[in-house]
C-alpha cells in the first residue's frame, strides 16, 4: 500500500509540489489548512504531512510555528527547500490590461508586490486560502480577475498564463518540513529544532542558554521568538541547530538547557536539506 502524505490543498499548491518532490510515489491527501494537515496525520488518515515553515523573503510561517509549539506533538521528520516561481493566471481570453482584481495567498501576494505595483497598480489584491484556491475560483470572478499561482494550478484548473516568474526576488525559496508520529534516526548530517520559554523574566536568561550551545561548539542555524499568547512582552524562543538529539554534544546541550528553562520542547531531529529540489 502506498504511503499517504497530507499537504495544504487543494491540488496545485506549492505544498503539493513539495509533497510530490518528497515522495513521488505517495498518495496525496489535500487538506484545507495547516492544522488540518497535522490532524490528518494524528488521526491516521495520512502517514506524514508536508507543511511550509519558512520563506526566504517573508520569513517564518507563523501558522506552522504555532502548531508545533501549542497544538501538536508530531515530530519534524525531514525538510526540503523548494524554489518558488509565481505566474499571473487568468480565465482564457482575459486581457492583462483589463485586470482589476488579483487573488492569491497572502504570502504570494507579498512576494509579488513590486510586480503588481508596476504592472497592475490599480488592481485590488484579495487574499485567498491558498494559491491553488485562487486559481480554482477564477471562473466565478469573471474576465477582469487574475490569480497568482504556479503552472500546475494553471494546468489543473484551465487557466491561461499571462506572465511567468513574476516573483520580486529570483531567490524566492520556501522551506517545508515533513511531520510524522515517530522521530527520524540519526544520519550524520542532521538538524534539530526546539522551542523553550521562561516563567520568570530576568537579565541574562537567554544569554545563558545560548552560552550552553557555544561552549559545546554547536552551531545555531536560526533563532527567533513568538508571543506566548499569555501576556504582552512574554516570548517563546525557537532554535534550529546543527546535529541530532542523539549526538553526544547535542544531548548534553539539551540537558543543560532543560535545567535553565521552564519548558523545553524538541520538535525533532531530521536530515538537513542539501539543496532546493
Residues marked as catalytic:
174, 176
CB 16 within 8 A of CB 132: yes
Q: What is the DSSP string of 102-161?
A: EEE-HHHHHHTHHHHHHH-TT-EEEE-S-HHHHHHTGGGG-TTEEEEE-HHHHHHHT-EE
Grid cell at residue 119:
504592472
Cell numbers describing residue 168: 520580486
Strand-by-strand arrangement of the 87-90 sheet: 124-127, 101-104, 145-149, 87-90, 160-164
Beta strands 4-8 and 27-31 are parallel
Closest CA to 238 of 201, 268, 194: 194
The radius of gyration of the chain's CA atoms, rounded to the nearest angstrom, is 21
Amino acid at each position: 500500500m502506498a504511503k499517504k502524505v497530507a499537504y495544504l490543498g487543494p491540488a496545485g499548491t506549492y505544498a503539493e509540489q513539495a509533497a510530490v518532490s518528497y515522495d513521488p510515489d505517495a498518495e496525496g491527501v489535500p487538506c484545507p489548512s495547516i492544522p488540518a494537515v497535522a490532524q490528518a496525520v494524528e488521526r491516521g488518515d495520512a502517514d506524514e504531512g508536508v507543511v511550509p515553515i519558512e520563506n526566504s523573503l517573508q520569513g517564518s510561517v507563523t501558522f506552522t510555528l504555532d502548531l508545533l509549539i501549542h497544538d501538536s506533538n508530531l515530530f519534524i521528520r525531514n525538510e526540503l527547500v523548494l524554489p518558488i516561481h509565481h505566474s499571473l493566471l487568468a480565465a482564457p481570453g482575459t486581457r492583462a490590461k483589463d485586470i482589476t482584481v488579483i487573488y492569491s495567498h497572502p504570502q504570494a501576494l507579498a512576494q509579488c508586490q513590486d510586480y503588481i505595483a508596476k504592472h497592475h497598480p490599480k488592481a485590488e489584491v484579495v487574499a485567498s486560502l491558498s494559491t491553488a484556491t485562487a486559481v480554482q475560483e477564477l471562473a466565478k470572478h469573471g474576465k477582469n480577475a487574475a490569480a497568482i499561482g504556479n503552472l500546475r494550478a494553471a494546468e489543473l484548473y484551465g487557466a491561461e498564463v499571462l506572465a511567468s516568474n513574476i516573483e520580486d526576488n529570483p531567490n524566492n525559496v520556501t522551506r517545508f518540513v515533513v511531520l510524522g508520529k515517530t522521530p527520524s534516526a540519526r544520519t550524520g548530517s542532521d538538524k534539530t529544532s526546539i522551542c523553550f520559554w521562561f516563567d520568570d523574566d530576568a537579565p541574562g536568561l537567554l544569554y545563558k542558554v545560548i552560552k550552553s550551545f557555544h561552549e559545546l561548539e554547536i552551531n545555531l542555524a536560526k533563532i527567533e521568538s513568538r508571543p506566548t499568547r499569555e501576556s504582552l512582552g512574554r516570548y517563546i524562543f525557537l532554535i534550529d541547530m546543527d546535529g541530532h538529539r542523539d549526538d553526544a554534544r547535542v544531548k548534553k546541550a539539551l540537558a543543560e538547557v532543560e535545567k535553565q528553562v521552564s519548558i523545553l520542547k524538541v520538535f525533532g531531529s531530521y536530515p538537513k536539506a542539501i539543496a532546493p529540489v
